[in-house]
Structure 1
C-alpha cells in the first residue's frame, strides 16, 4: 500500500485522497522544470499547474521561485481538497491556490507566464475499474489537442510550458504541439536505470522555433540500486536523504 504522505525537505505531500500518488518521474519533472526556471526565468510571477493532483509540482516550483504565484487546477473534488491542504501546510501558502474546475472552464482572460502539466498518459489504452485512477491516468476528460488549446488560451505571449509524457508517444505530442504553434525548446529523456531504454520525456515548449536542447538521465545505476549522480544533483534540494 502506498504511504499516505511523502515528506520532502521543506514540505510534506499528503496523498490518501488522490488517485495518483507521488512518483519519481513526477518529482523529476518538478525538479527539472524548477531548475530550468531558476536558471532562465527566476523572477517569474504567474504559473498555472493543470491537473495539480496532490499539488506536488506546484510545491516544488514554489520552493525554488520566490516571486511566483502558482495556481493549481484540479477536476476531482477530493484531490483538489488534498492539494489545498498541502498548500496551506507549506511555507508558501500565501503564493499557492487551488481552483476546483475543468481546465476548459477557466476564465479566458486569465493568462500565465508559465504552465506545467503532468497530463493523463494514455489516450486509448485499456482502463481499470477505478474511475478516479482512469481520470488521472487516461485522457478521459481532456485529450492532448484539448490540452494544447487550453495552454494556448492561458499562456502569455513569450510564455513557456512543461509537460511530462511517456517516451514513445512524446514525438506525437511534439508534432501536435507544432500544429498548435508550440515548439520543443528543451527535453530530458529519462531511463529507469543505465540498463533500461528511455521511458519518460520531460519537455519545455515555447512559441518560437528552436533547435531543441536534448539531455538524458538515468534514475539509477546499472545495478538498479544506487541513484545516479545526475539524479542526486537534481533532486537533492527536495529529497530528505540525498
Structure 2
C-alpha cells in the first residue's frame, strides 16, 4: 500500500499523508487493547496522537469517552483534525497542538494512552518532524511518567506500548513516580520469535490486587495467518477480519 493512501477501517477512515509517522501495528494494538469499557464518562488523553488512530478507536469502543489528542507536529495535528471531523465522533474528540509537558487541565484524567517516541541512540533522519515523532528527545520515559502523574486522578491508568528491551528502565521509572504495573503483554510476531514490543498498563497511586503478565502473538506459529487472539482483539476495526 502506498504510504500516503487513506487507511480504511470498518467504521472510520484515516488519511495519513500529513503525518511523519504512518499507521502501524503498534498503534492498532494499543488502541484495541486499552481498557475503556466504562459505563460512565471517561476523560482520556491521547499523547502523540498522530493521525488520530487511537483516539478514534477509543471513541468507537466507548460512547461515553471524552478524548483529547495532542501532538507536537503540525502535520499530525492537521491530519488528526481532518480525520476526526470526517468521522462519527467529532464531538467526542478534541485535537490540540501541545507537548505532554505543556498540558494544563481542569479535570483529572481517568486514562492516559501513548504510543510514544522511543528510539534512543539511533541514527536520525534528515526530516525534523519524523525525528520528533520517533525519538525520545521530545518525550523521555521520565517525562511521560512524571507528567502522567501530574494529570491522572488517583487510580487512573497509563497505557503504553514500548520496545521490550527497555522494560527494566520502564519498571524503575514507573516506581519513582508512584505507578504500579497492572497488565503486561509481551508482543512477538509468533511463538517462535522473541518479543519486540510490550503493552503495559500502570495504575497511578493504587496497587492492584494482582498483576497480569501474558505473551501476545500476532501470527500463528507455523503460518503467516493472524493469531486467534489478534483477530479477536482487532476484529471490530480491520475490514478484512
What is the TM-score normalised by the length of structure 1? 0.94
Structure 1 unaligned regions, length at least 5:
none
Q: Give 1:53's aligned residue.
A: 50
2:187 matches 1:185: no
Q: CA deviation at 1:128?
A: 1.9
Structure 1 range deviating more: 179-188 or 128-137: 128-137
Alpha-carbon displacement from aligned partner over 1:123-148 (angstroms, at most 9, x marks no partner):
33222222111111101212111111
Shift of 1:171: 2.4
CA contact (8 A) 1:108 1:153 kept: no
* CA distances 1:122-176 after superposition (whole Å, capped 9, x unpaired): 2332222221111111012121111111111111122111011011102211210
Hey, what's the Cα distance between the residues in 1 that align with 2:105 and 2:29?
A: 30
The residue aligned with 1:8 is 9
Distance 1:108 1:63, change over 3 A: closer
Q: Which shows bigger deviation, 117-126 or 163-172?
A: 117-126
Alignment of 1:1-242 (within 5 A): 1-33=2-34, 36-38=35-37, 41-107=38-104, 109-207=106-204, 208-210=206-208, 211-242=210-241
Report how far residue 110 of structure 1 moved.
4.2
Q: Report if aligned partners of 2:20, 2:75 keep a CA contact under 8 Å in 1.
A: no
| Equivalent pair of 1:116/1:161 in contact (CA under 8 Å) | yes
- Give deviations 1:25-52, integer Å, cap 9, x for gaps: 210111011xx322xx342421000110
Helix, strand or coil: the match of 1:217? Answer: strand
Partner SS, residue 218 of structure 2: strand
- 8 Å CA contact retained: 2:26, 2:115: no
Q: Is the 8 A contact 2:45 2:67 kept in 1?
A: yes
* Partner Cα distance (2:202, 2:107) in 1: 20
The alignment's TM-score, normalised by the length of structure 2, stands at 0.94
Equivalent residues, number: 238
CA distances 1:196-235 after superposition (whole Å, capped 9, x unpaired): 1111101110022234201211111124421011100101
Structure 2 CA distance, aligned partners of 1:209 and 1:136? 32
- What SS is found at the alignment partner of 1:193? coil
Which is richer in helix? 1
Counterpart CA distance in 2 for 1:106 and 1:201 is 26
Residue aligned with 2:67, SS: strand
In 2, Cα distance between equivalents of 1:222 and 1:240: 23
